[in-house]
Structure 1
Amino acid sequence: MNEHRKQSIQGIGSIDRQTRRELILERLREAISSGQLEPGTHLAEIELSEALGVSRGTLREALRHLQQEGLIVGDARGRLTVRVVTAKEVREIFSVRAALESLAFAEVCAQPERDAALEAMRVALRTLEVTEGDYVAQLGADLAFHETLCLQSGNATLHQSWLSVSGLARAAVTAAGPETALHNMAIARHSPLLDYIATGDLAGGQAYLVAHMNDAADRIIATMAATEQQAQPPRAD
């Protein structure tokens, strides 16, 4: 290897521990969101670290983060599994999101100038549109759209509160599978919110957000119930 090529390669820089953890986090989130790692799947450290090509220490850091997000859970023995979300939890998660995002909307509407917030929401909506049809990518864009609303409120505590339930929100959406999720994440279900921001229609926007969250929860719960019903063995005559 000549000196110039050697310097060029060295200049790229090694991937540090933090970057590796983030890459593993994203890979595992995608596997859970896509259903590759189904709810209830046991996450064996040795198998996962070998499959991902990382040390068990780096993997543990990523798994701890996913546990904090609520995507995975541990039992008394420390055995980690992909979270199984109940219908009650789905309703609670979307109720909390409705409350937080309604408050965020109110704080955005209270701003004397909303142009910057509106543009940020337009960018987030365009990203959602670009990813339409790609379930995993669109799920990320959908959550980013709603997070953008919270960010634009300027309320850091509200944003942190939203982040604390975002992992659970991902788990809830994933529980219903791609078909229901893609319907809930459709552009047409999100674009009206920008009109409410533009006009400063507080009551209309908050009502729309609550209805959006309630409808999403209803559809997810209905799909979960139907799936559970189909999984039951046929009754003997």
Structure 2
Amino acid sequence: MAIDAQFSSLGAIERVTRRELILDRLREAVTTGELPQGTHLAETELSASLGVSRGTLREALRHLEQQGLLTKDARGRLSVRVVTAAEVRDIFDVRFALESLACETVCARDDLEAVVAELRRALERLAESERGSIADQVAADLAFHEAICAASGNGTLLESWRRVSGLARAVITAAGRDTAIANMAADRHAPIVEAIASGDAERARAVLREHNDSAREAIVERLEAAAATI
């Protein structure tokens, strides 16, 4: 292989890595509220601040738009998505439908003990994330719920959940840091694991329903209270 071809290959890997780093950085900024909802994302200023080309930035912004974290107005300008209480209810309802089906499927697995062991590890990682940043907690929280869906063995269900998870990122911190941290606490997720471990699908769905609804309403309550003051 020619030397210039080798260098070209290494360069391509470097560019992909840089793009992913920018994507992760922007996702974290949106998820944690560092870039508040409604913030207009001006490409020139943002690319200069991040030290990347506008082309690389556009790729990252396009990906975040596809995930539902950004919205585009009639003039093509991108802004951080403003989440409404109605959207929160819709997102959580769809998420529950998917995770509820996953719980039912998981409870019927012959290797339930092994699946539960993996869920306990995901729960441990969630607990460990509480010592990190809120971005760490969001990632661990989503990873826990994704693990349940992955354990269902239903690829369509998992892919559907992953599409919804982009929107979930937008709503987790929508009601503020304190509400988000409370909703993501590991001790709020432990009962889900125990219910699945029992193999009782009805119990697992009921525990998941309580978890889902309480988190949803905590966010909705804060959003509606904030809207009332405007």
Aligned to 2:102: 104
Is the Cα contact below 8 Å between 2:122 and 2:143 reproduced in 1? yes
Could you tell me the TM-score, scaled by structure 2's length?
Answer: 0.92
Instruction: Give 1:111's aligned amino acid.
Output: R
Q: Secondary structure of the residue that 1:175 maps to in structure 2?
A: coil
Aligned to 1:221: 220
Q: Secondary structure of the residue that 2:173 maps to in structure 1?
A: helix
Cα distance in 2 for residues equivalent to 1:212 and 1:108: 18
Matches within 5 A, 1:186-225: 186-225=185-224
Instruction: Give 2:114's aligned amino acid.
Output: A
Aligned to 1:182: 181
Q: Secondary structure of the residue that 2:110 maps to in structure 1?
A: coil
Following TM superposition, where does structure 1 have runs of at least 4 consecutive aligned residues deviating by more than 3 angstroms? none
Instruction: Give 1:73's aligned amino acid.
Output: T
Aligned to 1:37: 35
1:46-68 CA-partner distances (Å, limit 9, x unpaired):
11111111111111111111001
Cα distance in 2 for residues equivalent to 1:86 and 1:201: 35
Instruction: Give 1:203's aligned amino acid.
Output: E
Cα distance in 1 for residues equivalent to 2:112 and 2:118: 10
Cα distance in 2 for residues equivalent to 1:211 and 1:69: 26
Kindly report the root-mean-square deviation, in angstroms, between the aligned alpha carbons of the 2 structures: 1.4
How many residues get paired?
Answer: 220
1:26 corresponds to 2:24: yes
Is the Cα contact below 8 Å between 2:137 and 2:184 reproduced in 1? yes
Q: How far has the Cα of 1:116 moved from its partner? A: 2.4
Matches within 5 A, 1:1-237: 16-132=14-130, 134-230=133-229, 232=230
Could you tell me the TM-score, scaled by structure 1's length?
Answer: 0.89
Is the Cα contact below 8 Å between 2:173 and 2:179 reproduced in 1? no
Percentage identity across aligned positions? Answer: 55
Cα distance in 2 for residues equivalent to 1:75 and 1:165: 22
Aligned to 1:5: none
Q: Secondary structure of the residue that 1:73 maps to in structure 2?
A: strand
Q: How far has the Cα of 1:185 moved from its partner? A: 0.8
Greater Rg over alpha carbons, structure:
1
List runs of 5+ in structure 2 lacking aligned partners: 1-6
